Amino acid sequence: MTRRHTTSIFNRLKCAALAGLVVAGFAGASASAADDPDLIFRRSTVFKLLSPNDKLATYGIDDPEIEGVACHFTVPERGGFKGWLGLAEEVSDISLACRQIGPIRFKDKLTQADDMFSKRRSMFFKKMQIVRGCDAKRNVLVYMVYSDRLIEGSPKNSTSSVPIMPWGAGDQAVQKCGDYFK
């Protein structure tokens, strides 16, 4: 077997492996679609002539463990052909705002800094996470969004707090977050 033939076989294997990863990435993305947050809107930020534009996308998600709390976050989405194929690494600039949208009810005991939501931001190495905690002294839920990488994380983050307040005339029994967090 010649060196040229070996190189050709190696290149074919690399292309097949890359194609398999792309297909697996799309299959994984569609399988987790039920867990995805609601897209509120997108706004183009960088025009690209022959490929999709770079955009900012705003999403809404309800806290799955605490009724009455919703968060909205805005993430940049890369355009271009790499972004279109899902191969571009997304930047770590993410903003977050969480609010009380009804009476707050805890479904179960929770752990400080537990993940509320996470989503991949690149094919292999980066993940965005929203974590929650409790400031028991002030009876406030605290949410933080950040992204991490396999090798090095990003210090970029955003924090939002939700004071637990009575909701409406009939909701006088305000739960204490300190009773539900370990």
* pLDDT at residue 152, as a whole number: 61
Q: Which two tokens mark 106?
A: 């805890």
Could you read off the pLDDT tens digit of each residue along the chain, which spans 182 residues?
554 544 444 444 444 443 444 333 433 333 333 368 999 999 887 676 777 678 899 999 999 999 999 999 998 887 655 655 665 656 668 899 999 999 999 999 999 999 999 887 665 667 888 999 999 999 999 999 988 765 566 678 899 999 999 988 776 788 999 999 98
DSSP output for 51-113: SPPEEEEEEEEE-SSEEEEEEEEEEEE--HHHHHHT-SPPPS--EEEEEEEEEEEE-S-B-TT
Same domain, 111 and 156: yes
Same domain, 95 and 136: yes
H-helix or E-strand containing 9?
Answer: helix 3-31
DSSP output for 103-126: EEEE-S-B-TTEEEEEEESSSSSE
Same domain, 119 and 29: no
Same domain, 1 and 69: no
Same domain, 27 and 41: no
Same domain, 25 and 89: no
* pLDDT at residue 179, as a whole number: 95
Domain range for 16 is: 1-34
Same domain, 27 and 46: no
Q: Which two tokens mark 168?
A: 């409406």
Same domain, 44 and 16: no
The tally of domains found in the chain comes to 2
In this prediction the pTM is: 0.71
Rounded CA separation 158/130 (Å): 9
Same domain, 112 and 24: no
Same domain, 42 and 16: no
Q: What is the DSSP letter of 49?
A: S
Task: Give the N- to C-terminal CA distance of the chain in Å, as an integer.
Answer: 63
* pLDDT at residue 84, as a whole number: 54
Same domain, 23 and 113: no
* pLDDT at residue 86, as a whole number: 61
